[in-house]
Amino acid sequence: MNTVAPRRIALVMGVANHRSIAWACVQEFLAHNTDCIVTYHPRFQMHVDRLVDSFSQQEEKHQEGGKILGQFSCEVETGIPELFHAQIPDLLGDGRRLDTVLHSIAFADMEHTKSLGQASWSAYAQAQQISSYSLIETARCAFALSGSEGKHPVMADHSSLTALSYLGAVRALPPYHIMGPAKASLEANVRGLAAEYGCVKDEYATNTNRTLRVNAVSAGPVATLSSRGIPNFGDWSRQVADTSPLKRNVTTQEIASTVHFLSKASGITGQTIYVDAGYSSVIP
């Protein structure tokens, strides 16, 4: 008797609109028969609702690939514990857990912070909390801690967490200013979390270990809502295209393909993978 294996489940955090790298990742997971749950900041609810509705209409016609199981509004400054301890467990029930999570969340007050040297503590701390610390809280709430009422964590015993980063984490890029330290912190958190959660004793089963692989994808410049807030982004993007070995910029689909690959790459953890047409390999 043949049995059909249940589809994997991906949580994609940080969809804003159809140009988002996060939305490209949703499409990539769905195309590979992985069900998805989506989160978004409240101000993007209308855009995300339209995307999900459009996908649902296409799904009715084709009946192929994964499904979008649900979407949640989440302000990461306060909403991560509720997301992983209540909302997602209630959606999935007792039988299913998350196999992979994409962290595509970043924010800095670029409008009122014109340079790193002029950054106020409140602006700097906000960028760190939203863009970097939220990864720590995601790993802790989704994988390490029991949910409400002693329930098993919502992530599967062998799962993955991938964050989106940028070259500004390791190079001084003046237009990126306050986000550079935030991305550097994010990548350091990736390495630290990979070391801490790479082999964790399962409190629910004797002689059993749980594994969370944590990686980052450092993406080249793409035209998203977030990138519009970077001063002179267009000039920077053209410079990258002219300088990179491939003489072009990458697409969101290429980034999403790497995210999907890392979700299944069982031997890779603690790494930052560059998807930037080779630009990072040739700059000084």
The answer on pLDDT for 173 being more than 90 is no
Residue 191's pLDDT is 99
- The answer to whether 166 is a known catalytic residue is yes
Question: CA-CA distance, 166 to 203, in Å (whole number)?
Answer: 36
Average pLDDT in the 113-123 region?
92
Would you call 191 helix, strand, or coil by DSSP?
helix
Name residues whose C-beta falls within 8 Å of residue 93's C-beta, 6 or more positions apart in sequence.
Answer: none
Residue 48's pLDDT is 96
Sorted by where each starts, the structural domains of the chain and their CATH numbers stand as 9-279 (3.40.50.720)
DSSP state of 80: H
Q: pTM score, two decimals?
A: 0.93
Question: CA-CA distance, 268 to 210, in Å (whole number)?
Answer: 15
Residue 110's pLDDT is 83
For residue 158 the two structure tokens come to 């062998």
Residue 46's pLDDT is 95
Question: CA-CA distance, 58 to 236, in Å (whole number)?
Answer: 36
Band the pLDDT of 69: cuts 50, 70, 90. Answer: very high
The answer on pLDDT for 150 being more than 60 is no
Q: Mean pLDDT in the chain?
A: 91
Residue 145's pLDDT is 72
For residue 268 the two structure tokens come to 């890779």
Band the pLDDT of 144: cuts 50, 70, 90. Answer: confident
Residue 146's pLDDT is 60
Band the pLDDT of 112: cuts 50, 70, 90. Answer: confident
For residue 195 the two structure tokens come to 């070391």
The answer on pLDDT for 276 being more than 90 is yes
For residue 283 the two structure tokens come to 């700059």
- Catalytic residue, candidates 166, 197, 274, 279: 166
Would you call 185 helix, strand, or coil by DSSP?
helix
pLDDT tens-place string over residues 202-233: 776 667 899 999 999 999 999 776 766 666 77
- Catalytic residue, candidates 40, 133, 176, 274: 176
The answer on pLDDT for 141 being more than 90 is yes
The answer on pLDDT for 2 being more than 60 is no
Would you call 187 helix, strand, or coil by DSSP?
helix
- The answer to whether 197 is a known catalytic residue is no
pLDDT tens-place string over residues 3-58: 567 899 999 999 999 999 999 999 999 999 999 999 999 999 999 999 999 998 87
Cβ atoms 168, 180 nearer than 8 A: yes
Please give the full DSSP string across 94-141, using - where no structure is assigned. SS--EEEEEE------TTT--SSTT--HHHHHHHHIIIIIHHHHHHII
Question: CA-CA distance, 259 to 25, in Å (whole number)?
Answer: 7
Nearest CA to 22 among 184, 267, 206, 259? 259
Report CA torsion sign: 114, 275, 102, 257: positive
